[in-house]
Amino acid sequence: MGLESALGEGYLTTKVDSVVNWARANAAWPMPMGLACCAIEMMAFAGPKYDAARFGSEVMRFSPRQSDVMIVAGWCTYKMSHAIRRIWDQMPDPKWCIAMGACASTGGMHRCYGVVQGVDNFLPVDVYISGCPPRPDAVLHALMKIQDKIKTEHSVMLDT
């Protein structure tokens, strides 16, 4: 309705890249790798007050085959790292990764033998969120940064 009144009787020309990336960015289904306390803030981020669904992350798909963004929330131990890597490998391209919280980004306050000092030791991370735990607003900000990244980085037509 609104689009027709803005354009009148005409049509819209744009690039294929813009349309495809706009559609991709506004439908980024997250796969929550909720490990520890950040998972609770991630649940609040999907909850009623800080609604993630209005940004397009309508469902939290727990199956890696059906998701686009993996949110690693919580400290990753050496024992768990293999499971996370396996799940990352199962996700189909294009995929992005958010390291939520201090523990996923750098190991956080847990500087000891059991914790991997940063998930980027074995995963290619796109956005790091600081905070322990970060407020759900911060996770929304990170999601918006991922949306910007989706819209500007890759091209569908050019094979880059």
Partner 1 sequence: MALELNESLQKTIDGLSDQFTEKLIEVYQSTGDTFVRIEAEALVEVCTYLKNEHHFVYLTDIIGTDRYTSDERFEVIYNLICLKNQTRLFLKVRCDEESPVLTTVSTVWKSANWMEREVYDMFGVRFNDHPDLRRIFLPEDFDYFPLRKEFPLLGIQGSIELPNTTPDTE
Partner 2 sequence: MKLSDIQSKVHSTFFKEHQRKLYQSLEDKHTTIEQLDDGDPLNSKMILNMGPQHPATHGVIRLVLQLHGETIEKVKLDIGYLHRGVEKIAENKTYQEFMPYTDRMDYLSPYSNNVALCTAVEKIADVEVPERAHYIRMIGCELARISSHLLWLGTMVMDAGAVSFFIWTFKEREKIYDIMDRLAGHRFTVSHARIGGVANDITDEAMGAIKEFTQMFPKELKDYHKLLDRNRLFFDRNEAVGVLKTKDALNIGAKGPVLRAAGYAYDVRKFAPYARYDEVEFGIPTRLEGDNLARYFVRMEEMSESIRIIRQCIDKLPKGLVRTDNAKQAYPSKDEVYYSMEGMIHDFMMTDTGICPPEGAESYHAVEAPKGELGYFIQSDGTGHPWRMKINAPSFANLQVLENILDGEMVADTVVIIGGLDPVMGEADK
Binding stretches for partner 1 (CB under 8 A): 78-79, 81-82, 84-86, 89, 111-114, 116, 121-123
From residue 153, alpha-carbon distances to 108, 110, 112, 122 in Å are 29, 34, 36, 22
Nearer to partner 2, 54 or 79 (CB): 79
What does the angle CA 139 – CA 143 – CA 102 come to, to the nearest 5 degrees?
A: 40
Contacts of 24 (CB under 8 A, 6+ apart): 68, 94, 150
Residues from 14 through 33 that contact partner 2 (CB under 8 A)? 33
Nearest approach in angstroms of CB 38 to partner 2 is: 9
Q: Which does 11 bind (CB under 5 to 8 A by kind): partner 2, partner 1, none?
A: none
Nearer to partner 2, 77 or 154 (CB): 77
C-beta of residue 33 within 8 angstroms of C-beta of residue 123: no
Q: Considering the rule CB under 8 A, would residue 135 count as an interface residue with partner 2?
A: yes
Nearest approach in angstroms of CB 28 to partner 2 is: 19
Nearest approach in angstroms of CB 96 to partner 2 is: 18
DSSP state of 99: E
Contacts of 26 (CB under 8 A, 6+ apart): 55, 56, 147
Q: Which does 110 bind (CB under 5 to 8 A by kind): partner 1, partner 2, none?
A: partner 2
Report the 10 Å Cβ neighbour count for 60.
Answer: 18
Q: Which of these, 35, 123, 28, lies nearest to 69 by C-alpha position? A: 28
Q: Considering the rule CB under 8 A, would residue 42 count as an interface residue with partner 2?
A: no
Site of interaction with partner 2 (CB under 8 A): 33-37, 39-41, 43-44, 47-49, 62, 74-75, 77, 79-80, 82-84, 87, 109-115, 132-133, 135
